[in-house]
């Protein structure tokens, strides 16, 4: 939902290959010390007491972790640790998973044991340093933060955390001295400028803060967190114009940034919002959050991102932005229950609460708890009856439940609330058009699709849907082909759109071109049963019968819809028995539609917008 600086992420992520590889076993540590002392599965088996429970718990933990189920993994590693309390390998895995799942009490207990074995353990010392800081023991916090292993991410985190400890001790000069010693790499310099500015603001040195903010913002103008901090700094300096200029781009979007929008409303009301980071506690949480948020964009950094985000929340439990990012990460892992739990911890007075509840509704729907999702959305509608996002979400969930008439009602309320329809309303017309089409109200559906394209003619999904619908009904073929080709031109890597193009050629009996396009569609979307089935049909038509049987057989392994499975199975049976007329008879019937498949894909994509 929130945009961040592409430049910052690219430069920051340049160190991630090294950083994530340098973590302990949970994060693929390969340093010599660990290699010499870690006990692997074979050694565990030889040390097992005979009942297999140690190895079983360990292996179950590995499976759960590979499936991104951190909660289950932590449970299994904890069981393994109960059976072998001195096993460093299991201890380290158990610690990091307890931290990643937010079990700070257990994680701290394990961290104490861990640093006795490995004194410079990065995350262990960061957690114990955060705990000491929370207790007001700044000397212990500084010691824990200072003695971490020399590794880019942890070194930067511990250095900036130590600087914030100096701010807490009212020693800003010492803090700035630490900041000056940070790495000169560009990815690190962003954090140096940003946190120097925050520290200067907290210590009352606005003349130092202003150029530091300006330098950081110049390179990361689309970073909403930095923008909010800079805007609040400007407001503290009575520079309302600068604050509004900084925030304006964040609200001039189809989905405005909630925090920026709320801040502008405070400015308009004449309020004095205060600094975004007002003390050292919030500052330490901010550096942990910043690293965790950046790690969420790296495929290999997910587990580590969880740990840093949890560190941020340990220091500052009221950190709604960190809580929201944590929920998004659980969403990416498909841990929807944990994502819901994180969203529910965001307080109602946070600008992020509404967006979190919207995401929760879609998670409930994904978990097949649609009645709960609808109850939640109805409650949100009572709070804001004209909110387009809620109305659209309600329509989409009802549509997913095949309650098309009810879905149309909510989409219509949303459309009627738009005084002057523009590009933002185009999606509403499309959504209602889909509901009409599914409800067998084609004339109304067609009118909505056309209206959507009138408002925004560059919507690949709408172009594809209308074009495919026309081909489906053997009408407006020339226009239909033009629409589908434009959709493919807009989204050439979308296998579903290419499938539509291939199937349109198939309907026109241009089987050679159909086979060509459908072959490409399968390359783009190899695990879709419908597209593989379509390619099999096209291959059969051009005489490539052995390949056709292969594609149909492959489609059967990809969990097709029950009705599709019956048809595909019949085609395979006829083909294997040499009954060419039987296969041809099936192919001459109405084809298996990809519309419902495209619908499901779209619904998932739409859910990500909220």
Mind listing the pLDDT tens digit for each residue in 100-156? 889 899 999 999 999 998 898 999 999 999 999 999 999 999 999 987 666 788 889
Phi/psi region, residue 571 (left: phi>0; alpha: psi -120 to 50; beta: rest), is: alpha
Give the pLDDT of residue 185.
82
- HEC-encoded secondary structure of 143-154: HHHHCCCCCHHH
From the CA atom positions of the chain, what is the Rg in Å?
Answer: 28
Rounded to whole angstroms, how far apart are CA atoms 284 and 157? Answer: 9
Give the pLDDT of residue 379.
96
pLDDT at 180 over 70: yes
The predicted model gives 228-249 an average pLDDT of: 95
pLDDT tens digit string along 8-60?
332 333 334 334 433 333 333 323 333 333 444 434 434 444 445 655 665 56
CB 281 within 8 A of CB 141: no
Give the pLDDT of residue 407.
97
| CA-based nearest residue to 106, from 342, 355, 314 | 314
* Residue 277 DSSP one-character state: S
Report the percent of the chain where pLDDT is more than 70: 81
* Residue 132 DSSP one-character state: H
* Residue 25 DSSP one-character state: G
pLDDT at 75 over 80: no
User: Greater confidence, 412 or 11?
Assistant: 412
pLDDT at 7 over 60: no
Go through the domains of the chain in sequence order and give each one's CATH number. Answer: 481-600 (1.25.40.10)
The predicted model gives 342-356 an average pLDDT of: 97
> Which residue blocks in 277-319 are alpha helix, DSSP H?
280-295, 302-315
- Cα angle value 336/106/86 (rounded, 5°): 120
The predicted model gives 332-337 an average pLDDT of: 92
Give the pLDDT of residue 559.
92
* Burial (Cβ within 10 Å: 0-12, 13-18, ≥19) of residue 546: exposed
| CA-based nearest residue to 566, from 552, 578, 576, 577 | 552
- List Cβ neighbours of 132 (8 Å cut-off, separation of 6 or more): 138, 140, 141, 144
* Residue 87 DSSP one-character state: -
CB-CB neighbours of 420 under 10 Å:
5
Give the pLDDT of residue 588.
86
Rounded to whole angstroms, how far apart are CA atoms 206 and 183? Answer: 24
Query: How many Å separate Cα 404 from the centre of its chain?
Result: 29
CB-CB neighbours of 104 under 10 Å:
20
Band of pLDDT at residue 82, cut at 50, 70 and 90: low
Q: Of 57-71, 362-376, 465-479, where does mean pLDDT reach its minimum?
A: 57-71
Mean pLDDT (the chain) is 85
* Burial (Cβ within 10 Å: 0-12, 13-18, ≥19) of residue 499: buried
- HEC-encoded secondary structure of 553-597: HHHHCCCCCHHHHHHHHHHHHHHHCCCHHHHHHHHCCCCCCCHHH
CB-CB neighbours of 337 under 10 Å:
11
- Locate the DSSP E strands across 129-269: none
Band of pLDDT at residue 474, cut at 50, 70 and 90: confident
Band of pLDDT at residue 84, cut at 50, 70 and 90: low
- Crossing angle (nearest 10°) for helices 88-100 and 53-66: 40
Give the pLDDT of residue 608.
43
Rounded to whole angstroms, how far apart are CA atoms 499 and 521? Answer: 5
pTM, to two decimals: 0.79
User: Greater confidence, 3 or 104?
Assistant: 104
pLDDT at 301 over 80: no
- Cα angle value 359/400/355 (rounded, 5°): 15
274: phi then psi, degrees, rounded to nearest 5? 85, 170
Q: Of 27-41, 194-208, 268-282, 551-565, where does mean pLDDT reach its minimum?
A: 27-41
Give the pLDDT of residue 220.
86
Band of pLDDT at residue 73, cut at 50, 70 and 90: low
Give the pLDDT of residue 25.
32
Q: Of 286-295, 303-312, 397-406, 414-423, where does mean pLDDT reach its minimum?
A: 414-423
418: phi then psi, degrees, rounded to nearest 5? -90, 110
Torsion, CA 457, CA 475, CA 497, CA 515, rounded to 10: -150
pLDDT tens digit string along 517-559?
999 999 999 999 999 999 999 999 999 999 999 999 999 999 9
Rounded to whole angstroms, how far apart are CA atoms 450 and 430? Answer: 9
């Amino acid at each position: 939902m929130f945009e961040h600086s592409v430049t910052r992420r690219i430069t920051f992520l340049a160190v991630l290959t090294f950083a994530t590889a340098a973590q302990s076993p949970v994060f693929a540590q390969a340093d010599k010390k660990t290699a010499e002392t870690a006990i692997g599965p074979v050694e565990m088996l030889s040390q097992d007491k005979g009942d297999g429970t140690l190895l079983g718990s360990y292996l179950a933990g590995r499976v759960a972790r590979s499936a991104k189920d951190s909660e289950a993994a932590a449970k299994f590693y904890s069981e393994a640790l109960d059976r072998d309390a001195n096993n460093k390998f299991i201890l380290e895995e158990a610690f990091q998973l307890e931290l990643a799942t937010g079990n700070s009490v257990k994680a701290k207990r394990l961290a104490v044991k861990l640093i006795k074995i490995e004194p410079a353990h990065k995350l262990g010392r960061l957690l114990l340093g955060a705990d000491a800081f929370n207790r007001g023991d700044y000397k212990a916090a500084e010691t824990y933060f200072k003695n971490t292993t020399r590794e880019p991410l942890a070194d930067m985190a511990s250095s900036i955390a130590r600087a914030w400890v100096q701010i807490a001790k009212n020693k800003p000069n010492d803090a700035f001295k630490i900041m000056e010693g940070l790495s000169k790499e560009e990815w690190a310099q962003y954090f140096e400028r940003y946190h120097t500015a925050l520290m200067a603001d907290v210590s009352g040195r606005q003349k130092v803060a202003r150029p530091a903010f300006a330098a950081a913002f110049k390179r990361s103008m689309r970073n909403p967190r930095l923008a909010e901090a800079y805007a609040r700094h400007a407001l503290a300096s009575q520079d309302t114009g600068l604050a509004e200029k900084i925030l304006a781009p964040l609200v001039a979007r189809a989905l405005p940034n909630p925090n920026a929008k709320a801040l502008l409303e405070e400015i308009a009301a004449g309020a004095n919002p205060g600094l975004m980071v007002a003390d050292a506690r919030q500052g330490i949480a901010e550096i942990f959050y910043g690293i965790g948020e950046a790690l969420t964009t790296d495929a290999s950094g997910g587990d580590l991102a969880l740990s840093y985000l949890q560190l941020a929340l340990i220091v500052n439990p009221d950190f709604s932005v960190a809580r929201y990012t944590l929920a998004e990460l659980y969403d990416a892992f498909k841990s929807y229950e944990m994502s819901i739990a994180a969203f529910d911890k965001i307080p109602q007075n946070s600008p992020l609460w509404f967006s979190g509840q919207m995401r929760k509704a879609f998670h409930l729907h994904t978990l097949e708890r649609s009645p709960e999702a609808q109850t939640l959305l109805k409650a949100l509608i009572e709070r804001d009856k004209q909110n387009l996002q809620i109305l659209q979400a309600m329509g989409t969930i009802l549509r997913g439940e095949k309650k098309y008439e009810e879905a149309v009602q909510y989409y219509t309320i949303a459309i009627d609330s738009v005084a002057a329809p523009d590009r933002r309303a185009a999606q509403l017309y499309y959504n209602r058009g889909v509901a009409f089409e599914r409800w067998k109200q084609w004339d109304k559906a067609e009118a909505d699709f056309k209206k959507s394209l009138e408002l925004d003619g560059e919507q690949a999904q709408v172009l594809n849907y209308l074009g495919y619908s026309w081909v489906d009904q053997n009408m407006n073929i020339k226009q239909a082909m033009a629409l589908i080709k434009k959709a493919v031109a807009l989204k050439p890597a979308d296998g579903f759109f290419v499938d539509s193009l291939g199937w349109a050629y198939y309907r026109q009996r241009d089987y050679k071109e159909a086979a060509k396009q459908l072959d490409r569609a399968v390359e783009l979307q190899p695990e879709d049963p419908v597209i593989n089935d379509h390619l099999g049909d096209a291959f059969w038509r051009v005489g490539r019968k052995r390949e056709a049987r292969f594609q149909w057989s492959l489609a059967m392994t990809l969990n097709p819809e029950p009705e599709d499975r019956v048809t595909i199975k019949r085609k395979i049976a006829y083909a294997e028995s040499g009954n060419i007329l039987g296969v041809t008879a099936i192919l001459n019937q109405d084809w298996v539609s990809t519309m419902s498949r495209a619908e499901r894909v779209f619904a998932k994509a739409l859910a990500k917008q909220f």
